[in-house]
Chain A
Amino acid sequence: MSPRRRRGQRAATAGAGPLHRGRGTGWPPGPRARRIAWAAIAIIVIAAGAWFLGHRLTHAPLATHRPAPASGVIATLDPASVFRTADSLGRAGRHVASLPYYRQSLRNVHADFWQLHFNYGTALYNATLEIEARNGLPVYAVRSSWERVACMREAVQEILAAERLARTPRDLALVRTTRARMLWLWGLPWETFAAYREAQFADPADRSLALQADRYMDLLRSPATSGLGDSAASVPVAPEAR
Chain B
Amino acid sequence: MLCSMLIPPRPAHVQDDRCRGVDHRWRAPGRRLPATSILASLVLALALLPGCSRREAGDGAALFDPDSIPEAYARSTAALMWPGATRAWQITPAGDLYNGEWQVRLIPSAGADSAAAPRVIAFEERWRPVAHWTRRSGGVRWDFEALALPEPAPRDSGLFASILVQATNTGSATCAVHLEIRLEFPRQPAFAAFDVAMEPTAALHWGEGDTPDTVQGWSAEHSGAPAAQGPERVYDWTLTPGATRSLRLALPTYPATARALARWARVPHERRATEARRHWETEVARGARFSLGDPEMECALRAAQVTLLSLRERRGPVWVPIANPFQYRDVWLRDGARAIRALAVLGYTHEARELCAGFEGLQWPQGAFLSQRGQLDGTGQALWAFEQALLRPAADDSIGRFASAAEHAWRWVEWQRALGRQSGWEFGTLLPFADPRDGELVRAQLLGNDAWALAGYRSAARLLAAAGRAAQAEEVERSRAVYLADFMKALGRVKHGDVPPSWQGIGRDWGNVAVVHPCGVLPTGDPRVRAMARRIWAAAGGPGLTTYGSPDTLQSYVGADLGTWALLAGEPAAADSVLEAMLHWRTASGGGAELFSRSKREFGVNLPPHGTGAAALASLLRDALVFDDEDTLRLTLGARARWWSGSRVQRAPTRWGLMDLQFRRQGDGARWSWSAVPVWTALTLPPGTRLAEAPAAPLVRGVSDRVVLAPPGTRQAVVRLAGMTQ
Contact = CB atoms under 8 A, between A and B. Distances in A.
Q: In the A-B complex, list the 9 residue pairs whose CB atoms are closest, starting with the nearest.
A: A61-B157, A223-B433, A187-B374, A135-B192, A189-B432, A134-B192, A145-B371, A224-B504, A52-B154
Contacts, number: 141
A224 B504 CA distance: 7
Contact of A149 (B371, B376, B420, B504): B371
A211 interface: no
A145 B157 contact: no
Contacts of B313: 144
B702 interface: no
Interface stretch (A72-80, A150-158, A165-173, A198-206): A150-158
A230 to B, nearest CB: 7
A140 B443 CA distance: 23
Interface in B360-375: 361-362, 364-366, 368, 370-375
B76 interface: no
A61 B155 CA distance: 9
A61 B156 contact: yes
B315 A146 contact: yes
Interface of A: 48, 51-52, 55, 59-65, 132-137, 139-140, 143-147, 149-150, 152-153, 156-157, 185-191, 193-194, 219-221, 223-224, 230
Contacts of B84: 61
Contacts of B194: 60, 134, 139-140, 143-144
B314 interface: yes
B655 to A, nearest CB: 29
B315 A63 contact: yes
B26 interface: no
A65 B361 contact: yes
A186 B329 contact: no
Contacts of B314: 61-62
Contacts of B311: none
Contacts of B52: none
A146 B433 contact: no
Interface stretch (B131-139, B181-189, B515-523, B554-562): B181-189
13 contacts: A55-B154, A60-B194, A61-B314, A137-B191, A144-B194, A145-B371, A146-B371, A150-B361, A157-B365, A190-B416, A223-B432, A223-B443, A224-B506
B372 to A, nearest CB: 6
Nearest to B86: A61
B376 A60 contact: no
Nearest to B1: A145
Given A60-B195, A133-B198, A157-B365, A145 B330 contact: yes
B653 interface: no
A51, A144, A150, A230, most chain B CB atoms within 10 A: A144
A37 B364 CA distance: 53
A59 to B, nearest CB: 7
A191 B415 CA distance: 10
B419 interface: yes
B361 A190 contact: no
Contacts of A59: 155, 157, 254
B254 to A, nearest CB: 7
B225 to A, nearest CB: 25
A149 to B, nearest CB: 5
Contact of A191 (B193, B366, B445, B504): B366
A144 B329 CA distance: 8
Nearest to A142: B194
Nearest to A228: B443
A149 B373 CA distance: 10
A62 B364 contact: no
B154 A48 contact: yes
Contacts of B482: none
Given A60-B86, A145-B332, A223-B443, A230 B435 contact: yes
A214 to B, nearest CB: 13
A144 B423 contact: no
